[in-house]
Amino acid sequence: MSQDSNASSATSGAQILDGKATAAAVRADVAAGVDALVAGGGRQPGLTVVLVGEDPPSQVYVRSKDRAATEAGFRVETVRMAADSQQADVEATVRRLNGDDGVDGILVQLPLPKGLDADAVTELIDPAKDVDGLTKDNIARLVLGQDGLVPCTPAGCIEICDRHGISLSGKDVVVIGRSHLVGKPFAQLALARNATVTICHSRTRDLEAHCRAADVVVAAVGVTELVKGSWLKEGAVVLDVGINRGDDGKLRGDVEFETARQRASAITPVPGGVGPMTIAMLLANTLETSRRRQGRA
C-alpha cells in the first residue's frame, strides 16, 4: 500500500488518495483473515443483507456487497422482501437472523420503503452482529471510546488516512454534514484520534470561513461541488464522501475536484475515493464479529 508523503507542493497538485486500491488492499487483508480463521478450525464467516423493496441504487449496492463478500470467502445471503412488507415482517426477519448462529453480520439496507420505521428495525439487530455500527449500543461504545462496531463509511475515511500516513492528531478537522451514517460517527472517530473537530451543517453561518481554517475537510452532505477549491487552506487534506449523479450521468463529489486538487495536499476523487471503502470496511467488520462470536478475536 502506498505510504507516500502527502506533502506534495501546491503547484504539482494534490496526492490523489486512491480508494479503489486502498479498498482492494483491505479486502485482500480480510480474505487472508478469513482463510486463517478457517484454517485454524473456525467457521466461515456469514453475512446476511436484508433488502426491502426495489430502490435501484440499493439493488446496485447490495449486489456489490454480495460479490465482494463472496470473493473474500464469506457465506453471503441476501434476504429480499417486498416493498409493501409490514413492519412486523421485517422485524421478524431480523429476529430470525439474530437467532441464527451461522450469521455473524446483519445489514439492513437503507433507506427502507416509506411507512417502515428504519430506526426500530435497526435497533433490533443484535449489537454483536451489527456490522453497520448503527445500534445504540455500538454508537454509545463509539462515543465512550470502547471497543465496538463502527459505521463503514466513516471507518473507511479513517482507513484511507491510516494507509496513507495521514495523522489527524492535533489537526483542525471540519466535517460537513451531521448524518448518523457518516458525519456524526466520523466526528467521533476524529476526536478519538485527537483532532479538534467542528461539525458544519445546513444552518452553519459561514461554511467558507470554517473550510478556510481547516487542516482536513470531510464533505458528506450530498450537494454537488458545494465546497469550492478556493475555500481550502493550502495543503489541506480533503475527504469527499459525496456521490452525486449529474444530469449528464456523471458522478461528482461534494467538493469541486479540479480546483480543490490545486490547493490540497491530498484528496479523494469521486468516483474511486471513499465509495469503494464502505464495502471493504463492511467486510472487515464482519470478519471481526465472526472472530469475536467464535471466541477467536
- In angstroms, the first-to-last Cα distance of the chain is 25
Burial zone of 246 (CB within 10 Å; 0-12 exposed, 13-18 middle, 19+ buried) = exposed
The catalytic residues are 65, 109, 132
Nearer to ligand GUN by C-beta: 174 or 181? Answer: 181
Nearer to ligand GUN by C-beta: 66 or 256? Answer: 66
Nearer to ligand GUN by C-beta: 109 or 265? Answer: 109
Length of the chain: 297
Burial zone of 264 (CB within 10 Å; 0-12 exposed, 13-18 middle, 19+ buried) = buried
Q: Write out the three cell numbers for 177.
A: 454534514
Q: How far is the CB of 154 from ligand GUN (least distance, A)?
A: 10
Nearer to ligand GUN by C-beta: 226 or 243? Answer: 243
> Contact at 8 Å (CB) between 255 and 242?
yes
Rg (CA), the chain: 19
Q: Write out the three cell numbers for 81.
A: 422482501
Q: How far is the CB of 252 from ligand GUN (least distance, A)?
A: 18
Residues that bind ligand GUN (CB under 6 A): 107-110, 132, 152-153, 181, 278
Helix 56-71 vs helix 275-293: angle between axes, to the nearest 10 degrees?
Answer: 50
Q: How far is the CB of 277 from ligand GUN (least distance, A)?
A: 11
Residue type, 241: V
Residue nearest to ligand GUN (CB): 110
Q: Is 128 left (phi over 0), alpha (psi -120 to 50) or beta?
A: alpha
* Residues near 43 by beta carbon (within 8 Å), at least 6 away in sequence: 37, 102, 290, 294
Closest CA to 278 of 193, 130, 157, 133: 157
Q: How far is the CB of 110 from ligand GUN (least distance, A)?
A: 4
Q: How far is the CB of 156 from ligand GUN (least distance, A)?
A: 10
Nearer to ligand GUN by C-beta: 108 or 236? Answer: 108
Q: How far is the CB of 152 from ligand GUN (least distance, A)?
A: 5
Taking the C-alpha atoms of residue 176 and residue 232, their distance in angstroms, rounded to an integer, is 13
Taking the C-alpha atoms of residue 256 and residue 227, their distance in angstroms, rounded to an integer, is 6
Nearer to ligand GUN by C-beta: 185 or 229? Answer: 185
